[in-house]
Amino acid sequence: MAGIAGFEHGYFEFLQGNIPTPSLVFPSWGPPCVPEEIWHNCEPAMSILPNLLITGILAMLLSVALIVWAGWFVQRRHGGWVQLALSVLLLLFGGGFFPPIIAFVGGVAGTQINRFFSHGGTYEHVAQEAGFKVVAVGPSMSPGRAAEYMAFNRGEGWFAT
C-alpha cells in the first residue's frame, strides 16, 4: 500500500515537469490543485532535490523498490532494516508523508520476522529453561531443515543475501 501511494506522489510530481520545487515541502499534485481549498492539501510531499521531474522519477523508482522488497525480500536477515532505509529515502525524495510512515512501520515489523526461533533470539534460553526443546522453527519441520533455515537467516552458506 505504501509503495503504491508513494508511486502516485511521484507520478504527479513527474507530470509537473522540469521545474524547481517550490520549497522543501510542496503539494505533489501541483496546479490546478489549490492546497488551501481541498481537504488533503494536494497530497504534500518533501524533497531535498531542487527539481520536480527528478524528484518524481526517484519517488517512483523508490516506490517500485519498496513494493518488490516488501513483497519478496523483507523476511531476509536484514530485510526489515532495508525497508526502513527505503522508507526514509521515500520520505526525502518526494514520496509524501504517510506512505513512508506506513512503510516504516512495516520495516519495524520486518525486523522481528523469525526472530525467536530462527537465530537464537533474546528469549530462546527462557523456553529452554522452562523445559522446552527448541529444535525446529515449525512444528512439522525436521531438525535438519530447521538448521538449514537458521543458517539461512544468519546469512551463512551459498544462499545468503
pLDDT digits (tens, 9 = 90+) for 108-127: 999 888 665 544 555 566 66
For residue 41, with 0-12 CB atoms within 10 Å meaning exposed, 13-18 middle and 19 or more buried, which class applies? middle
Question: Are β-strands 25-27 and 44-46 bridged in parallel, bridged antiparallel, or unpaired?
Answer: antiparallel
Of residues 130 and 52, more confidence is placed in 52
Per-residue pLDDT tens digits for 9-31: 999 999 999 999 999 999 888 88
pTM value? 0.69
Cell numbers of 52, please? 520536480
The pLDDT value recorded for residue 107 is 94
The pLDDT value recorded for residue 140 is 55
The pLDDT value recorded for residue 119 is 47
- Give me the mean pLDDT over the 126-137 stretch: 63
Per residue, what are the HEC states of 108-130? Answer: HHHCCCCHHHHCCCCCHHHHHHC
Give yes or no for residue 91 having a pLDDT over 50: yes
Give yes or no for residue 93 having a pLDDT over 50: yes
In single-letter form, the type of residue at position 33 comes to: C
Give yes or no for residue 134 having a pLDDT over 90: no
- Return the DSSP state at 50: S
Distance CA 71, CA 65 (A): 10
Distance CA 3, CA 46 (A): 16
- Give me the mean pLDDT over the 90-94 stretch: 95
CB 35 within 8 A of CB 42: yes
Of residues 81 and 123, more confidence is placed in 81
